[in-house]
Amino acid sequence: MADLHIRIDRGKGGIAGQIASELRESIRGGRLAPGTRLPATRDLATDLQVSRGVVVEAYEQLVAEGFLVSRVGVGTQVTPKNTRQRAAAPPTPQQVRRRTPSTVSYHGHRPTSPDLSHFPRERWLAAVRHVLTTVPSDALDYGDPGGVPELREELAGYLRRVRAADVRPENLVVVGGVAQGLSLALHVLTDQRPLRLAVEDPTSHRQVPLLRRAGAHVVPVPVDEEGLDVRRIGGDAALVTPAHQFPTGVVLSPRRRAALMEWAYAGHRLIIEDDYDAEFRFDRDPVGCLQGLAPDRVILCGSVSKALAPGLRLGWVAAPPDLAEGIRRARGELDLGSPVIEQHALAHFLRTGGYDRHLRRMRREYRRRRDALVGALAAELPAVRVRGIEAGLHVYLELPAEWEEPRTVRAAQELGLSVEPVGPMRESAGPPAVVMGFARLPVHKAEEAVRGLKVRMSGQSLTGEGRRA
């Protein structure tokens, strides 16, 4: 194992960037030979007297660049010569200014990203070990493209218990996340006729191209304080996020839920429910899914991306029997199903209560982080209206009319905050707003980050009375 000598200038900030730079130059200069094993992140953090998350971020950056490789059970190593990818060219000064925050970076790739440093590695490893020592060899062969029976059984029980779903194992299809679930469902629905799909406005700008590529003609429908405006809905089917709308964070009101059900039954239409952020509701009990009200009219899509990690690529689709069979058949035609070992591991994690325990722990932690961010915004930026705080991993910030979204986003990202503009998510015009994630923002950093944002936006009007919705 390498004995590292890393110099840190704490006055400059960007500690993770400094660590990554020192390691990168050591590898390029030959001081760290190919195959050299690096210290565990916890050990190096102790040696450098920094948080473990800072070292994790530095290692992850170098893994992404191809300088390091990380394997479970082996640790992190300098990439061997025979597998090393071509290293990226040194960044220009302009790129460094854009990419390196002035303080320690604690943002993820998206405002909706969970804190992956809290992934239950030991419990997940125990689940994988259990699978590898107990499942028969034949279980590792090509299986049912709809998913292994054990996982579908556990998921059905979990969804009935936690999401008030009306689902049976035979109506469940295991998929590689909500994105694939949506693609497969639309693939089946558009197989025989064109589909006009009502979609919330605003909505994720990443999702719309996926929907169109799957064959849907997207019809935007405005979202207000009660969620999707059902009075203005049009189309053959609707895609909704009733538990926690993205990006506004609005929960579909009981009145709108009833109206949406009436719309579906009156025209024999279908609803595709993206059960987005349903597990993380902080101030009241979770709202049951729409699928539990109308299992013959609703296709329910969910995943473990927010609860565990997006990289697991494990999700599910619950659909009426005929549609579920069509989705299962389409999955088999496209890629033969999800990885078997991971499915069995998730089934074990659910069965033994590990999933529930992890969710309870993270719900408490995310609530602390949300409260810290919302409190800091109220104290430092009272002109900013904070919405959508009841659930999820992000808040929706309505900006003063004179604030520009791009400038606000740049200023926030320079501070390491996870922020995206809402403008590109809209079909129709709306007031300036941004989405800000808090899952990776430590409680003790919230006030400092928001105060920094206030300073950077000091040229704009900061007067006004704060509102919280």
User: What CATH number is attached to the domain comprising 21?
Assistant: 1.10.10.10
pLDDT value of position 83 = 45
* Angstrom distances, CA of residue 349 to CA of 129, 279, 344: 12, 16, 9
- 62 with 161, same domain: the answer is no
pLDDT value of position 7 = 84
Residue 25 burial by Cβ neighbours in a 10 Å radius (0-12, 13-18, 19+): exposed
pLDDT value of position 1 = 65
Query: Helices marked H in 49-102 — which ranges?
Result: 52-65, 93-99
Q: What percent of the chain has pLDDT over 70?
A: 90
Three-state DSSP class for 234?
A: coil
Per the domain annotation, does 2 fall within a domain? no
- 76 with 161, same domain: the answer is no
CA distance 386 to 467: 7
245 in Cβ contact with 199 (< 8 Å): no
Per the domain annotation, does 348 fall within a domain? yes
| Domain stop point among 72, 105, 138 | 105
- 174 with 319, same domain: the answer is yes
pLDDT band at 81 (very low <50, low <70, confident <90, very high): low
Per the domain annotation, does 116 fall within a domain? no
> What stretch of H or E contains 211?
helix 207-213
Residue ranges making up the domain that contains 61: 15-105
Per the domain annotation, does 166 fall within a domain? yes
Per the domain annotation, does 386 fall within a domain? yes
Q: What is the pLDDT of residues 421-440, one digit of tens each?
A: 999 999 988 899 999 999 99
Three-state DSSP class for 301?
A: strand
* Mean pLDDT in residue range 294-318: 95
93-97, 130-134, 154-158, 437-441: which has the minimum mean pLDDT? Answer: 93-97
Quick one: CA dihedral 284, 286, 292, 294, positive or negative?
positive
- 337 with 374, same domain: the answer is no
* DSSP structure class, residue 448: H
pLDDT value of position 428 = 86
